[in-house]
Amino acid sequence: MNKKSITERRRENYLFYILIFISLIISNIGIIFFEDSRIMPNYFIGLILAFLITNTTDLNLYKLMAFGLLIDLFVGQLLGQHSLIFIILYLLYFLINKILIIKTEIQLSSLSIFLILISFIIIWLTSQSHDIFRSPNLLLLQGILTFFTYLIFKTVINIFK
């Protein structure tokens, strides 16, 4: 098993914080050429998923909970919504790794699509039960864009780690 040096860990943590900050900024700006701003991707789900799947930084439940709350405070609609999504993603990723070998790029992409869908179902369910309107059709489009965001974040992580 590869053990990471302290400098490597520090660099990965910096990368994580920088990407969180960039996501915070870009989640406040609509995408050019997309008329409907509601279909913009959920950058935070893409980012956390990229870090989980690449196994880059030491993410644990406490960290995920804290980041979720931070995101909800800045750009969320409901306090605890993103925290809930992140901890469920963490649990599912752990369980899947217990029973399956995720080896190839296609398998990783399928896993990420599955996890993105799960997180969007959670968003939709919590939005419905708390009267925050979310159209399921738009959520599907948003899910596709989030997958591309995940791919971009993953590439960035692989370049800089």
Partner 1 sequence: MVQRKNTSNNLKLFNRNTFPLFTFFLAFTTCLILMGFDYRHQVSKKIRSEFSIITSSINYLINKPIEILHGIEIKFKEINSLTEENKILKKKIYNLSIQIQENELLNSENEQLRKILEIQKNYKIIGENAEIILPNVRNGYSLITINKGIKNNIKNGAPVINNKGLIGQIINTSNNYSEVKPITSKTFAVPAILNNGKENVILYGNGNGELEIPLFPASSPIDINNIFVTSGIDDIYPKGINIGRVTEIKLTKSPKFNYILIKPFFQPTTFSQITVLKINKNE
Q: Which residues bind partner 1 (CB under 8 A)?
A: 2, 24-25, 27-30, 37-40, 42-44, 54-55, 60-62, 65, 68-69, 71-81, 83-84, 87-88, 91, 94-95, 97-104, 108, 126, 130-133, 135, 142
**What is the Cα–Cα distance from 108 to 49, expressed in whole angstroms?**
11
- The residue among 1 and 6 lying less far from partner 1, judged by its C-beta, is 1
**Whole-number minimum distance, CB 9 to partner 1, in Å?**
15
The closest alpha carbon to 146, from 126, 116, 122, 119, belongs to 116
- Residue in this structure with the two tokens 């690449």, named with its chain if needed: 54
Minimum CB–partner distance for residue 117 and partner 1 (Å): 16
Unique residue bearing structure tokens 């809930």: 84
CB of 152 to partner 1, least distance (A): 17
Residue whose CB is less far from partner 1, 14 or 34? 34
As measured in angstroms, the least distance from the Cβ of 153 to partner 1 is: 16
Please give the Cα distance from 107 to 110 (Å, whole number): 5
Residues 6+ apart with CB under 8 A from 45: 85, 89, 116, 119, 120, 146, 150
State how far Cα 35 lies from the chain centre. 24
The residue type found at 76 is G
- Name the residue nearer to partner 1 (CB basis): 7 or 35: 35
DSSP code of 2?
Answer: P
By beta-carbon proximity to partner 1, the closer residue of 88 and 156 is 88
Q: How far is the CB of 85 from partner 1 (least distance, A)?
A: 9
| Residue with Cβ nearer partner 1 (10 or 138) | 138
